[in-house]
Amino acid sequence: MLITTRPPWQIPYSEVTPEPVYLSRRAFMAGMAASVAGAGLLPGLATAAPVPRPGQSLPSTFVPEYSTREEQTPYEDATRYNNFYEFGTGKGDPARYAGEMTVEPWSVVVEGACGKPGTYALEDLLKPVEYQERVYRLRCVEAWSMVIPWIGVPLAEVLRRFEPGSNAKFVAFETLYDPEQMRGQRSLFSTIDWPYREGLRLDEAMNELSFLAVGLYGKTLPNQNGAPLRLVVPWKYGFKSIKSIVKIRFQEMRPVTTWESIAPNEYGFYANVNPEVDHPRWSQKRERRLPSGLLSPHWIETRKFNGYGEQVAHLYRGMDLSKFY
């Protein structure tokens, strides 16, 4: 066996978990090996992944092929510097107020052009899958970025089980709408037509990188990061990675999405990270990698497709990427 000494930031989060968690992870893996492989979305079959409960450690398998070795953003920064306008527009508002949202029980409505529409309890939606850990870059359109170890499942695995129809060209997603729990939705100053909406072309959604996260840093998602279920699309600006999903819809027409409908000349539907196309109000050539002090900002070059071109560039062949679509 080859033993290498890696700096701490090169070790996946799942490998630095404390002993009790590690032991339960081993027990989990043993159970996995014994369970039925390839179970479909049918009631009564073996549960591979535990239902994510708030504050719980989640067993997962680290996927090195899809993980960056860059230094991970500290947990404190990733969970206290957030965009989640349902709880306010300040970066600290989500951490302060997202606790007012109840994430259990949770269900997701699946509708539109697919063979298995319905209302799925979160545990049924996740039932036949094993959690993976992937360390992705997250690049916000506001020109800051983080490196986050997510836990979740490939979006394609979940979508496939709903049997998308031949006229399903796009997938639309919606966040919870509940002004009683989400104070930003009660705000008179909000310009957003709630609920928050996002969408992908079906082939983008089925791409190997598209991920449905239920956790980060070895644990369930804190509410401010989009509990209990959020999208992670690492080659696109962060606003595409919609949080706290309650609806998935397969459709023929391109969905109307929140930021595109507010400012189509600033936030396009595709929103692929692209240093060659500036935002009308600022440059996209560089990004502030968090943590990054105001006095000594840590600027790095932004990469096309956020560095994921090898996996996704083929999706956009023939498209003029200098345009906001």
Ligand X SMILES: Nc1nc2c(c(=O)[nH]1)N[C@H]1C(S)=C(S)[C@@H](COP(=O)(O)O)O[C@H]1N2
Cα–Cα distance, 104 to 121 (Å, whole number): 10
Interacting residue with ligand X among 225, 257, 274, 292 (CB under 6 A):
225
Binding residues for Mo ion restricted to 234-273, rule: CB under 5 A: 238-239
The answer to the question of residue 257 lying near ligand X (CB under 6 A) is no
Instruction: Name the DSSP letter for residue 279.
Output: B
DSSP for 20-59 reads: HHHHHHHHHHHHHHHSPTT--S-TTSPP-SPPP-TT-B--
For residues 201, 203, 209, 214, the Cα torsion angle rounded to the nearest 10 degrees is 60
Choices 45-53, 79-87, 164-172, 312-320 (CB under 6 A): range interacting with ligand X: 79-87
Neighbour tally for 276: CB within 10 Å: 10
Residue 202 exposure: Cα atoms within 13 Å on the Cβ side: 18
CB of 242 to ligand X, least distance (A): 5
To the nearest whole angstrom, how small is the minimum distance from the Cβ of residue 233 to ligand X?
10
For 183, list phi and psi in degrees, rounded to 5.
Answer: -65, -25
Stretch 140-179 residues interacting with ligand X (CB under 6 A): 140, 175
Q: CA 11, CA 15: separation in Å to the nearest integer?
A: 6
206 binds Mo ion (CB under 5 A): no
Q: Is 84 in the site for ligand X (CB under 6 A)?
A: yes
What is the contact mask toward ligand X in residues 177 to 216, using x (rule: CB under 6 A)?
-------------------x--------------------
Could you list the residues known to form a binding site for Mo-molybdopterin, using ranges.
82, 85-86, 140, 175, 225, 230, 241-243
Could you list the residues known to form a binding site, using ranges.
82, 85-86, 140, 175, 225, 230, 241-243
| Residues at the site binding ligand X, with contacts judged by CB under 6 A | 82-86, 138, 140, 175, 196, 225-226, 238-239, 241-244
